[in-house]
Structure 1
Amino acid sequence: MRITDTLAIDEAWIEESFMRASGPGGQHVNKTESAVQLRFDLKACTVLDPGQVSRLKRLAGSRLTQDGTILIRCDSHRMRERNRAEARERLRALIERCLEAPKPRKKSRPSLASVKRAKAAKEQKSRTKALRRKPARDD
């Protein structure tokens, strides 16, 4: 299965099983197995580096099983082939998202002018509040 121009995953890592769907289809839904459950064996996958695998695990979330398999279920269409294509597309999109390394965060500092403005505003507020206080009595 081709993910990008340079990356393809082996079909042996993907297992598909079909079952009866609960979605649209009326009585037809009770006699055909149009829903697909796609399993992608993440442990067997060797084309992704460890950083990409960890990002894929984080992106998969609750779709990741205890044994390291990504589980994608699709039953939104009446036809088996459309469900199968949509499940494969979801897997491809998930893997494609994990390939993009997040940009490292650059620490930023407030500008000198903004620090001075904040201090000036704090001094002004302090003076305003000081004027509201009752003067000290000299007994």
Structure 2
Amino acid sequence: MPTDGDDVAGDLVVTRDVVLSAADLHWRFSRAGGPGGQGVNTTDSRVELSVDLRHAALRDTDRARLLDRLRDRLHDGVLTVVAADDRSQRRNRRSARMRLAALLRDALAPDPPDRRPTAPSRSARRRRLETKRRQGAVKALRRRPGTE
């Protein structure tokens, strides 16, 4: 039976096929700003979770896809997410793991299919022109009489 700490430590399941080992995840803790009273000055509740995508245990195709799609967020091949929303370090750790998994899952998702160009239907063109005529008539009624 899992203990309460199992969801913030251990391997990170991204997809059914992609699992980052705990050794690939690097944690850093610091003091977070914001609410918390006196405890905010002594508690390292801000969490940074990093993973080096160049050296993580990933298939080459997954690694290439992640490096390409996340290149704007990477610093020397390292992806970092920050969580400081909560007063509790444990909840921030859980949040950071969820954010990292979601980010990687989105980057690994296949490209959407190419859009097939289509033309508007005859009835759609007719409705658009009727709407334009109606709007023009409304605006014409707002004009001062005798001007065109």
Decide: shared fold, TM above 0.5: yes
Instruction: Give 1:43-82 correspondences, 5 Å limit.
Output: 43-45=54-56, 46-47=58-59, 48-55=62-69, 57=70, 61=72, 63-65=73-75, 67-82=76-91
Instruction: Name the counterpart of 1:99.
Output: 108
1:9 Cα shift? 1.1
1:64 Cα shift? 2.2
- Of all paired residues, the percent bearing the same amino acid is 34
The count of corresponding residues between Structure 1 and Structure 2 is 111
Instruction: Name the counterpart of 1:20.
Output: 31
Instruction: Answer whether contact 2:53 2:66 (CA < 8 A) is retained.
Output: no
Structure 2 gaps of 5+ residues are 1-11, 130-148
Instruction: Name the counterpart of 1:124.
Output: none
Q: CA RMSD in A?
A: 2.3
1:40 is aligned to 2:54: no
Q: Which has the larger radius of gyration?
A: 1
2-structure distance, mates of 1:51, 1:72:
19
1:29 is aligned to 2:43: no
Normalising to structure 1: TM-score of the pair? 0.68
Normalising to structure 2: TM-score of the pair? 0.65
1:51 Cα shift? 2.6
